[in-house]
Structure 1
Amino acid sequence: MSKKAIVIVIDGCAHEYLEQGVTKNISELGKRGFFKNVKSALPSVTNVNHATILTGSLPIEHQVTGNYFYNPETEEQGFIDGKGFLDKETILDVYAKQGNSTALLVVKGKVLQVFGDNVGFGLSAEHPDENLVKYLDMEMPPYVATPEANGWIMEACYNLIRKDNPDFIYCTTNDYTMHNYNPDHEIAKKQMESIDYWIGKIYELDPDREIYITADHGMTTKTLLIDLQKKMDNTSFDTVCMLPLKDRYLENHLYQEGCAVYVYAKDQSQKDDIYKHLKSYSFIESIYTREEAMDQLGLPGNRIGDFVIFGTKEVAFGELEDEELAVTVRTHGSKFEQDIPLIAVNARREASEYKRHFDVVRYMFEDLNISADQDLNLVK
C-alpha cells in the first residue's frame, strides 16, 4: 500500500499571506520538514494548476489550459467546469486503481466536477451532499464566496481523517479572500489563521502522513485593466482574444480580469502583422507564438491561440465597457503570480528536489511506478 498523503492547496496563496504572523502551525511544519518557494504552471490560473498538480505534469501533457475554452474550428466556447477536458490520469485515479482510498475536498464545485470522477469521497462546499455533510458531523457550509467557506472545507478534511483516514487526500480552498483583501487585512489574517488551525489539527491527528501545503497560483494588485478584444476590434485585424482566467465566480473577478490572453488570428494571413501590432503595446510584458509557448511554457498547441500574452506588473485584461479602466483589483494569471510557497513534512524527497508545485505528485507517480514494476517482478 502507498504511503498516506495529503496535498492542501490554498487557492491564491501568495507568500505574503504566510508572512503575517498568524500561520504558526504552517511555520512549525516548515521547520519540521521544509518551507520554500516553488513555481506554478502558466498561465497561473486555477484549472491549469489543479490539473498540473494532480497529474504531476505540464499542460502540454494534461491539455487543460484555462478556466475557459475557445475552439477556433467550431467557434464553440465555454467554461471548463465538467468532464472531457483532462487528457491524463490524476494521482487520485492511480491511487484508486491500486486499491487505495481517496478523497477530493473542495470549495469550488467545478474542481470536483472536473477532477472528481474516481474519488472515493468527494465533497464541495458549493454543491454539498447533505448526507456526506451529516456523516462528517458538520452543519451545511457557508456561501462559497466567503472566507468562512475555506475554514469549513478544512474542518471537513480534519473530520474525514478522524473518521476514515483515507490514503490520499486533495483538499483545496477558494481564493475569494485573496482577490478581495490584501495579506495584511484583518479578514485575510483571520482566514489564514483558521486554515492554519485546521492544518495543525490534521498534523496532530496523523503526524506520520506526508503533508504538502502549496498554492495553485499567487495574487498581486493591478491598477489598470485592458479590454484587448475591444482594442483589436478597433484595428483592421480579425482576432479572438480569449481570457483563460474567465469563470463563473464573479465575486472573485468582476471584470473577468486576469493577466494572460490567448489571441487567435481568424485570418491566418494577418498573423505576422498581428504579432508586430501586439509587440507595440506597452502594457504587454511578454508575447509567445504558439510554437514558443509549447517549447518554453509547456502549453499544448491545439488548445491555445496563435499567441499567448502576459501583461506588465500593474496590468490585467478583462471584459470592459471601454478599452481601458483605471481600477485597483487583485488577480493572477501571469509570471508575476507564479512564485508560490511549498511547505512539506514527511516528504519523500529532499527539499532541493522540489522546484515546482507539481513535483509533489510527479514523485508520487515515480514511486508508484517503481512499486508496480517491483510487483510485476515478484509475479514473474
Structure 2
Amino acid sequence: MNKLLIIVIDGCSPEYISKETTPNLYRIAKDGFCKGVKAAIPSVTNVNHATILSGRFPSEHGVVGNYYYNKDTGEQGFIESPDFIKADTILNIMHQKGASTALLTVKGKVLEVFGKGVDFRISMQDPNDIFARYLEMPPPPPVGSLEANGWILEACYKLLKKNNPDVVYCTTNDYMMHNYAPDTEEAIQQMKEIDSWIGKIYDLDHTREIYITADHGMSKKTHLINLQNIMDSKGYQVVCHPPIKDRYIENHIYQEGGVLFLYFKKEQDEKTEEILSFLEEAPYVDMVCSKEEAAKKFNLPIDLIGDYVVLAAEDYAFGEIEGEELVTENVRTHGSLYERAIPLIAVNAKEVPEKYRYSRDIVKIILED
C-alpha cells in the first residue's frame, strides 16, 4: 500500500484556488489531476468528514449534522463523540491492519468524533503538549484566527518528516472562508500560506498518494431567516432543527446555515398541506422534501432528518436571529446545495479522474482496491 495523505481545506470553494494564489496545488494537479466533485448534503463539517473518512454516504454512516435533536425526548446537543458514526473510518480500518495512522485537526470535535484507531493525534484546539513539543511546534493560535491553518499544516509537515505515518488525515478550519471572500487580501494571503505548506508536504515524497479536497464550499448570504419564529407566529407546531449548529460561533455568529430539518409536533398535523404550501412559495426556500424524498435524493438516513428537509435559496440562510428576517452584507456560510461544489486535487490516485464524482469516492475506491 502506498503512503496515503488526505488534506481537507475546510470550506474551500473552488473560487479560492487559482494559478496565482495556489501554484503548488496547480503543480500537484499537473502531476495528477484536478476536478470538481460533490460534497454530501447537508454541506456541513461533521457530515462530510464522516463521508470522506468512511467512503460512505450519510445513509450508511449515520452522521447528518453537527447538532442532533431527539423528537421523542426533546434532547438536543452537539455531535462530539464517536457514538454517532455507524461506519468505520479508513483510519481505524488501516490501524487494525497494522498501518500507522494520524489525524491532525484545528477543530477539537473532529478528533473527538473520528479519532478511533489513530496513533498520532493532534487537535490545535486542545493540543497534547508532549506531542506538540515533540514536533517542535510553537504555542497554537486561537481556533478562530487566520494563523490556525498554517499551524496545523506545519504540524502535518513536521509529523510526515519525523514519523511518516502510513495514513494521514489533516483538516483545517473555515474561519477565513466564513469571513473573507476569495478576492480579498486576507483570503489570498491565507490560501498562499496553505498552498506553501502543501507544496512542502508534497516535496517530502512525490510517490505519496495524496488527495486534497474540502468538506464543503462557502457562499455569501444577504438574508437570514428565523424560520422557527415564522412557524411560531403562524401557529404551526413545528420544530426547526439546524444541523449546522456548532460551538464555533466565530464562524456562525447566528448559527446560520442553508438547511433545516423540520419535526412536526403532531403525527398527523391537519395543517401539513398548509405548511408545505407556505414553504414552497417562500422566496427563501429552494427545496422542501419529505424525509422519504430527501433520503432518496441525498442518500440520507430516513430516521435522522426530521419529517421534512428544507434547503435555503441561494442568497438566504436560516439563522437564530431576533425577529424573522435580517438583511446583511457580512455573512458567508454553507449547508445548502449551493455549497456542494468542492475541488479535488489528487496525485498518485488509485483511479482515473472520471471515477471520482463525490468526495466519498476517495476512500470508497481505496477500500475497494
Q: Please state which band the TM-score falls in when normalised by the shorter chain.
A: over 0.9
Report the equivalent of 1:236: 235
Is the aligned partner of 1:359 residue 2:334? no
State how far apart, in whole Å, the 2-side matches of 1:120 and 1:112 are: 12
State how far apart, in whole Å, the 1-side matches of 2:275 and 2:302 are: 18
State how far apart, in whole Å, the 2-side matches of 1:336 and 1:266 are: 29
Cα drift, residue 344 of structure 1: 0.3
2:350 to 336, 348, 351: 348
8 Å contact from structure 1 (residues 294, 300) kept in 2: yes
1:1-380 to structure 2, matched below 5 A, reads: 2-19=1-18, 21-270=20-269, 271-328=272-329, 329-367=331-369
State how far apart, in whole Å, the 2-side matches of 1:201 and 1:277 are: 53
Cα drift, residue 20 of structure 1: 6.6
Q: TM-score, normalised by structure 1?
A: 0.95
For structure 1, the 5+ residue unaligned runs are 368-380
**Residues 201-228 of structure 1, C-alpha deviations (whole Å, 9 max, x = no match):** 1111111000100000000100000000
Aligned length: 366
**Residues 97-139 of structure 1, C-alpha deviations (whole Å, 9 max, x = no match):** 1000000000000000000022001101100111010111111
Letter in 2 for 1:341: P
State how far apart, in whole Å, the 1-side matches of 2:191 and 2:117 are: 30
Letter in 2 for 1:49: N
> Secondary structure of 2:344's partner?
strand
**Residues 152-196 of structure 1, C-alpha deviations (whole Å, 9 max, x = no match):** 000000000101100000000000000000111111111111111
**Residues 17-49 of structure 1, C-alpha deviations (whole Å, 9 max, x = no match):** 102711100011011100110000001000000
Q: TM-score, normalised by structure 2?
A: 0.98
State how far apart, in whole Å, the 1-side matches of 2:210 and 2:19 are: 22
**Residues 334-370 of structure 1, C-alpha deviations (whole Å, 9 max, x = no match):** 1100001000001010011111111000011112xxx
State how far apart, in whole Å, the 2-side matches of 1:326 and 1:20 are: 35
State how far apart, in whole Å, the 1-side matches of 2:277 and 2:90 are: 42
Cα drift, residue 277 of structure 1: 2.7
> Secondary structure of 1:222's partner?
strand
Cα drift, residue 274 of structure 1: 2.7
> Secondary structure of 2:11's partner?
coil
State how far apart, in whole Å, the 2-side matches of 1:206 and 1:76 are: 48
8 Å contact from structure 1 (residues 20, 184) kept in 2: no
> Secondary structure of 1:319's partner?
coil
State how far apart, in whole Å, the 2-side matches of 1:275 and 1:97 are: 48
Report the equivalent of 1:373: none
**Residues 65-99 of structure 1, C-alpha deviations (whole Å, 9 max, x = no match):** 00100000111001112221001100001000100
State how far apart, in whole Å, the 2-side matches of 1:345 and 1:280 are: 46
> Secondary structure of 1:303's partner?
coil
Letter in 1 for 2:363: V
State how far apart, in whole Å, the 1-side matches of 2:279 and 2:288 are: 8
Letter in 2 for 1:209: R
Letter in 1 for 2:296: D
8 Å contact from structure 2 (residues 91, 116) kept in 1: no
Report the equivalent of 1:378: none
Q: Percent identity?
A: 52
Letter in 2 for 1:332: H
8 Å contact from structure 1 (residues 212, 344) kept in 2: yes
State how far apart, in whole Å, the 2-side matches of 1:204 and 1:20 are: 18
State how far apart, in whole Å, the 2-side matches of 1:315 and 1:22 are: 29
Report the equivalent of 1:377: none
State how far apart, in whole Å, the 1-side matches of 2:45 and 2:106 are: 12
Cα drift, residue 272 of structure 1: 3.7
State how far apart, in whole Å, the 1-side matches of 2:342 and 2:18 are: 13
Q: 4+ residue stretches of structure 1 with deviation over 3 A?
A: none
State how far apart, in whole Å, the 2-side matches of 1:281 and 1:78 are: 29
8 Å contact from structure 1 (residues 20, 183) kept in 2: no
8 Å contact from structure 1 (residues 130, 140) kept in 2: no
Letter in 2 for 1:119: V
For structure 2, the 5+ residue unaligned runs are none
